[in-house]
Amino acid sequence: MYLTFQYDGAYLNGLLIVPAWGNYFNHPAGQTLGLVTASFYFRTLVSASSSGLTALAKIIMPPVAGWVSDKYGRRAGLMLGSIITLAGGLLGAFSRDLGMFIGGRVLVGAGQACHQAIAPPLLQEFAHPVGFVAIETNFSVFEVFVVQCTWVYSSLVASYPPFSPWE
């Protein structure tokens, strides 16, 4: 879960300096570039068909993930998040225009929101009754530690493609 979260941000930062990426998407700048960057962390999205704000991804997915995990189990909910994340990655990889690229990032963000809603309760369910309180108390501290560790690893992995010789 955290590897894909960190990898996506590091990979996008690397893509922004690749001339071929800028040429392909017509050098996005200003608000368009901000929308590309913020689309993964989606709280709201300016809809292309209206001037209002449409609530999306990370607002809608946790209740859906909760319903799926209650009805079909936590593994099914994690599988749903993984499928959504994979679909978003594929959509972003094979995007023909900037709208498809942003849509792929929205789907990756929605899959991450699904994981973030389901994984903590699953971890607590796996805990032994003796260690339940310690795991529940230290989850946030552990989460910050894991995010920091995976940030370094995923940044190294994501930095190779933008700086590689292929275009």
Selection from 150, 136, 161, 144 nearest residue 18 by Cα? 161
Check: CB of residue 154 under 8 Å from CB of residue 1.
Answer: no
Summarised one tens digit per residue, pLDDT across range 111-122 is 888 888 888 788
CATH number of the structural domain spanning residue 21: 1.20.1250.20
What's the rounded mean pLDDT across residues 20-47? 74
At residue 72, does pLDDT exceed 90?
A: yes
Position 79 confidence tier, pLDDT thresholds 50, 70, 90: very high
Q: How far apart are CA 157 and CA 160, in angstroms?
A: 6
3-state secondary structure of 55: strand
- In degrees, to the nearest 5, what angle opens at C-alpha 44 toward C-alphas 41 and 48? 115
Kindly write down the DSSP assignment for every residue of 72-130, as one continuous string. Answer: H-HHHHHHHHHHHHHHHHHHHHT-SSHHHHHHHHHHHHHHHHHHHHHHHHHHHHHS-TT
Comparing CA positions, the residue from 158, 45, 22 lying closest to residue 98 is 22
The pLDDT of residue 57 is above 80: no
DSSP 42: -
pLDDT digits (tens, 9 = 90+) for 84-101: 988 988 998 899 998 898
The count of structural domains within the chain is 1
Domain that holds residue 78: 2-163
**pLDDT exceeds 60 at position 163:** yes
pTM of the model as a whole = 0.73
Mean pLDDT, residues 51-66 taken together = 63
* Non-local CB neighbours of 7 within 8 Å, separated by 6+ positions: 154, 157, 158
54 forms beta bridges with 45
